[in-house]
Each structure stands twice: as structure tokens, then as C-alpha cells.
Chain A
Amino acid sequence: MENHEHHENQENHITPYSTMLKVLVGLLFLTFITISVTGFHLGAFTVAVALIIACVKGGIVITWFMHLKNETPIFRYMVLGVLLLYVLIIVITFFDYAFR
């Protein structure tokens, strides 16, 4: 893996190795933050913070590792729509349970 730099030519749709490495470092950093934050005992907020960070990490994975960044906008909206639908299903079912 020493010869990364020699192949560093910027063509369309080819994500350079360096981008992937930067993304990896970012993800590892966020993991570290999650672990530290949950050590603070913020009560109910701990779960919320942990989940928000998890969502950010998920977004990073989808955008760069899964190459959504290179897709046309319609795909981006479709992915976003499906995720929103998923969250909506969970939230609505939860309300049904909570106010029964």
C-alpha cells in the first residue's frame, strides 16, 4: 500500500485513496466522541447524543464509502425519502404505544 500517491490521478467518479482515509479518520474520531460522551452520564440525553452521532456517521458512510456523493440528485432524494419513511414508521408506532 506504499504506492498510493503514484496513482493519485483525479478522474471522474474515482474517489482518491486519500479521501477514503480522511473519511476513516473522521469516523474513528466520532466513535471516540460517542464513547467519551456516554461516559458523562447526561441521563436521557446520552442516548439522544449517541444516536445523533450514529446518524452523522451513517451519513458519512453513505455519502463517501457508498459513493452517494457521485450519484444524481434523484438518488439522493430517494435515499433520504426512504430513511425518513423508516424513521416515521418507528415514531408513529411509538406514539401508538405511548398513548395507549
Chain B
Amino acid sequence: MVYAIFRNKYSADFHTAAHELNAFLGALNTVILLISSATAAMSITAVQKGNKKLALWLVGITIFMAFLFLINKYFEWGHKIHLGIYPGSELLLKMEQGELLFFGLYYFMTGLHVFHIIVGMIILTVVMVKIKSESINAHDFVLLENGALYWHLVDLIWIFLFPLLYLIT
């Protein structure tokens, strides 16, 4: 909502600022999240079919992908901060109003998303432990289903964040 209004008001500044973002890293993270979402969905199939080993592998891959996403984000943010673009930095305060707003929204929206990723990783780790101890099995897999649902939500949010922040140049 806030994004929509400021984008409307300062569209030129938003364009300049979005050029600063690395669309390649963003695209890579999109691919990573889509794959992790697919493995999360397939892990439900595996548990339903009683294939415990495969289910563990699939949830494990999902968590690993989430980890890759975070590493990617670390380098992306690290580069921005290296360039002097971080909340409250001098360079940022000298920029146009719209660019300032864009980076503010960028850090807020991606930051909140990263927080969800970390929460998702914790949930999926719990799920993995429970699959291992067989308290999640072919007859009772509600926790896995909800964990996967949460993970798809995180993916869903990124599907919208990616074009809004990275591709609007």
C-alpha cells in the first residue's frame, strides 16, 4: 500500500533507485525459492506414500535452499552497505526523496521477508526432526502440511516482491 502510493508519487526516483538493485541476484533467489517450494510440496507426497527417507531428503533440500537464499541476501545487502546505502547512511540522506523512500521500503520489505524465511527454516527443522522420530507419518502429517503451507506463503510473497523491487527499472 505504502509502496503503491510512493511509487505513484516518485516514479522517476523509484526507477533510478531500482537500477541499483541486482536483478540477477533477485532472479537467482526467485529460482531458489521456487525450487524449495516444489521440494516442500513433494515432501508431503513422500510422507503420504510412507517414503520416510525421501521425505527427509526433500525437507532437507528445502531448508538448504532457504540457507542459500540467506547467503545470497547477505551478499546483496553487504554490497549495498559497502556502497554506503543502508538505513540512516549519509549517502542515502543526500539522495532524492523518492530514492530514499525506495531504499527504506526495500530494506523493510526484504527484511521482513528474510525474517519469515528464518521462521520457516525453524518450523521445517522441527518438521524434519518429527519425520525422523515418525511422529509425522502417513496417517498424521498435519504439521508437515502446515509447515509446507507456510513455506509456500513465503515463496508467494517473494513472487510479488521480486518484480516490484527488482524489475521496475
Q: How far is the CA of A62 from the CA of B159 in the complex (A)?
A: 12
Q: Which residues of B contact A89 (CB under 8 A)?
A: 1
Comparing B37-45, B77-85, B92-100, B102-110, the segment that makes contact with chain A is: B37-45
Contact with B along A40-56 (1 / 0, CB 8 A): 00000011001101100
Query: Which residues in window 9-37 of A have CB below 8 A to B?
Result: 9, 11, 13-17, 20-21, 23-24, 27-28, 31, 34-35
Q: Which residues of B contact A1 (CB under 8 A)?
A: 54, 57-58
Does B143 interact with chain A (Cβ within 8 Å)?
Answer: no
Does A65 interact with chain B (Cβ within 8 Å)?
Answer: yes
Residues A65 and B167 in contact, CB atoms below 8 Å apart: no
Q: A interface, by DSSP: helix, strand, loop or mixed?
A: helix
Q: How many A-B residue pairs have CB under 8 A?
A: 98
In the A-B complex, the 10 residue pairs with the closest CB atoms = A50-B163, A24-B38, A38-B167, A65-B41, A14-B48, A20-B42, A65-B152, A27-B34, A57-B159, A20-B41
List B residues at the A interface (Cβ < 8 Å).
1, 4-5, 8, 23, 27, 30-31, 34-35, 37-38, 40-42, 44-45, 48-49, 51, 54, 57-58, 145, 148-149, 152, 155-156, 159-160, 162-164, 167-169
List A residues at the B interface (Cβ < 8 Å).
1, 3, 7, 9, 11, 13-17, 20-21, 23-24, 27-28, 31, 34-35, 38, 46-47, 50-51, 53-54, 57-58, 61-62, 64-67, 89-90, 93-94, 97-98
